[in-house]
């Protein structure tokens, strides 16, 4: 079965639950006291989609979103971006548009965009209507789901929807790709064009 590595970057304001969504997806766990993101280089999970294996390489912001200091490198080569807001905080939804703009500016042209309204378990303190978010997502042709990392709602569905939207052929793969440096010199490394 063909294995495809798909880089996914996470965007959204500090504290909306970006890391929690990924922890739920990757480790099926939830820690209410998770640190503001430090420590994860990236997280991976492989899922089967039709006759392919999709290995998600999920990059975390490493806290660099806090003062808007994400580097262009963060977006490079991403197949998809998940932009997260908190349904209980209106301002995290208003800034969503800035993240979309940032993505359009620095991200690859054909990137799949997914919007996740997280913390949907806290419906009674909701500040963002599901319909408003859905309308916005539709207007930019983005995937939309409301999620709860805490209660494991719609997390797998979010990634399944991303798999569905990824172009099936390898048309997205850049021609003449580079290679990763490795410790030992070996001919296997030498697969540059």
**Three-state helix/strand/coil letters over 101-132:** HHHHHHCCCCCEEEEEEECCCCHHHCCCCHHH
* 66 sits near other proteins (criterion: CB under 8 A): yes
Q: Which is nearer to other proteins, 40 or 153 (CB)?
A: 40
Q: Which is nearer to other proteins, 38 or 125 (CB)?
A: 38
| Measured CA distances, 16 to 6, 38, 73 (Å) | 23, 15, 22
Binding residue for other proteins (CB under 8 A) from 73, 125, 171, 188?
73
Shortest distance (Å) from residue 125 CB to other proteins: 30
* 122 sits near other proteins (criterion: CB under 8 A): no
Do the strands 42-49 and 143-146 form a parallel or antiparallel pair, or are they unpaired? unpaired
Task: Supply angle C-alpha 42, 46, 178, rounded to 5.
Answer: 60
Shortest distance (Å) from residue 166 CB to other proteins: 18
Torsional class of 38: left (φ above 0), alpha (ψ -120 to 50), beta (otherwise): beta
* 181 sits near other proteins (criterion: CB under 8 A): yes
Binding site for other proteins (CB under 8 A): 26-27, 38-46, 55, 58, 62-64, 66-69, 71-74, 76, 174, 176-183, 185, 189-190, 192-193
């Amino acid at each position: 079965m063909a294995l495809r590595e798909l880089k996914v970057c996470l965007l959204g304001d500090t504290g909306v639950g970006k890391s929690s969504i990924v922890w739920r997806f990757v480790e099926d766990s939830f820690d209410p006291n998770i640190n503001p993101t430090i420590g994860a280089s990236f997280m991976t999970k492989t899922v089967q989609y039709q006759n392919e294996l999709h290995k998600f390489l999920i990059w975390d912001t490493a806290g660099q979103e806090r003062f808007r200091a994400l580097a262009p490198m963060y977006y490079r080569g991403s197949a998809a971006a998940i932009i997260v807001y908190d349904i209980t905080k209106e301002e995290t939804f208003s800034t969503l548009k800035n993240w979309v703009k940032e993505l359009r500016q620095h991200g690859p042209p054909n990137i799949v965009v997914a919007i996740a309204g997280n913390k949907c378990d806290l419906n009674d303190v909701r500040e963002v209507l599901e319909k408003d978010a859905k309308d916005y997502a539709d207007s930019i042709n983005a995937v939309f789901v409301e999620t709860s990392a805490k209660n494991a709602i719609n997390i797998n569905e979010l990634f399944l929807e991303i798999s569905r939207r990824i172009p099936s052929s390898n048309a997205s793969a850049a021609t003449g790709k580079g290679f990763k440096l490795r410790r030992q010199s070996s001919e296997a490394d030498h697969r540059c064009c």
